[in-house]
Amino acid sequence: MSTKRKNGEGLYMPRRLVPMLVVGALVVASCGADEPAATTAAQDTTTTAAQTTTTEAEEVVVTPLQGGTLAEIQARGSLRCGVSTSAIGFAEPQDDGSYSGFDADYCRALAAAVLGDANAVEFVGTTAAERFNVLAAGEIDVLFRNTTWTQSRDTEIGGDFGPTTFYDGQQIMGKADFGFNDASTLGDVDGARLCTNAGTTTEKNITEGARVVGAEIDLVTVENFPEAMDLFRQGSCDLVTTDGSALFGNRYAAIQNGEIAEGDWIIFPTTPISKEPLGPMYRQNDSQWADVVNWLVYILIIADEKGITSANIDEMVANPPDPEAGRFLGVGEDELQTKMGLAADAYAQAIRQVGNYDEIYANNLHPLGFSRAGSANARWTEGGLVYAPPAR
């Protein structure tokens, strides 16, 4: 792996101290069980970390459990939900061991549907590299962890995906001081050191993308994305790359806490370099559980379409706006939830205790400056991709 830098384009700062800083940072990162011991040379350490953690799917060897997840959760009385260890707006650890965020709210909504109690969740923080093993080993019932639906993950590692909850895409963040601007492209990463977390689609996308545009990069992978952000702050990495949502979230937080000024950190290219449809993942061959999770996602979308919210749910249950709403709120004679092994009011509880799609989005992502309008996460009636099949 090359650490050579491009000169003469005025894009990057000199980097004489970088090797030492990277060694220090990767020693911390290497505390993870699967990480190799750090070597003394910065370049070697970097190379080893990247090479041993890039193969996200191949490392999973545990035979998936077969079926019965719903019954297990009902017997246990709690939902084990895998989330990210720390992802701004999606899964933020709280002092009491719970998590808040967009993904965390889906865990809570699912617990409300299955157990009637949004607080009946055991959150399990997972790194990107370990998440599929944790799922396959049966340590969690479902994974809501900024997880991109890909063909290899769907076919090679014993898992299945539910409907997309957030349409994301990979971007890159650099410093305006180093010459990056809104017009920067993938080609502008030539000669740069990029950081991200291991076990992600991010690694493959940037490696393939850079190759396609003829850019030579030095990719450094660490265990968690917050570590990658630290390297970026220190200047050990010229650039960080991951799902755009995380870049926007980190930049927004840094502006809010006074660390940087608006315009200091540039996110590019404007059109992401990949599609990252994020959503739930569960073990394959458990159709009953898949249905429960999938229809949770769908019904929160349909509730948004119909204006059924946590604030007006009681009124809506008393007077459903139409027959479809009557069915999924559990008051129509032809309700379907009991046939799925749930209480008739399962999804009404999810809406009551957590909210519909728009509420989950607004509660967690509006504070970070995200807007559905004009994005792929807008309603399908407003030009977006958020769409659900009919509840009938």
Residues that bind ligand GSH (CB under 6 A): 84-87, 128, 146-148, 197, 200-202, 224-225, 242-243, 246, 276, 278
Whether 292 contacts 74, CB under 8 Å: no
Is the CB of 87 or the CB of 217 nearer to ligand GSH?
A: 87
Is the CB of 86 or the CB of 133 nearer to ligand GSH?
A: 86
Is the CB of 191 or the CB of 272 nearer to ligand GSH?
A: 272
DSSP codes of every residue in 200-229: SHHHHHHHHHHHHHT---EEEEESSHHHHH
> Nearest distance from residue 279's CB to ligand GSH, in Å?
10
Is the CB of 22 or the CB of 368 nearer to ligand GSH?
A: 368
Cα–Cα distance for residue pair 161/171, rounded to 1 Å: 23
Residue 93 bridge partners (DSSP)? 99
348: phi then psi, degrees, rounded to nearest 5: -60, -40
Is the CB of 144 or the CB of 328 nearer to ligand GSH?
A: 144
Neighbours of 123 (CB within 10 A): 23
Is the CB of 70 or the CB of 128 nearer to ligand GSH?
A: 128
Q: What angle do CA 215, 167, 218 make, to 5 degrees?
A: 20
> Nearest distance from residue 278's CB to ligand GSH, in Å?
6
Specify the residue for token string 């000024």: 261
Distance of CA 290 to CAs 156, 200, 278, 280, 285, Å?
A: 18, 23, 16, 10, 9
Helices (H) and strands (E) in the chain, counts: 14, 14
> Nearest distance from residue 249's CB to ligand GSH, in Å?
8
> Nearest distance from residue 235's CB to ligand GSH, in Å?
20
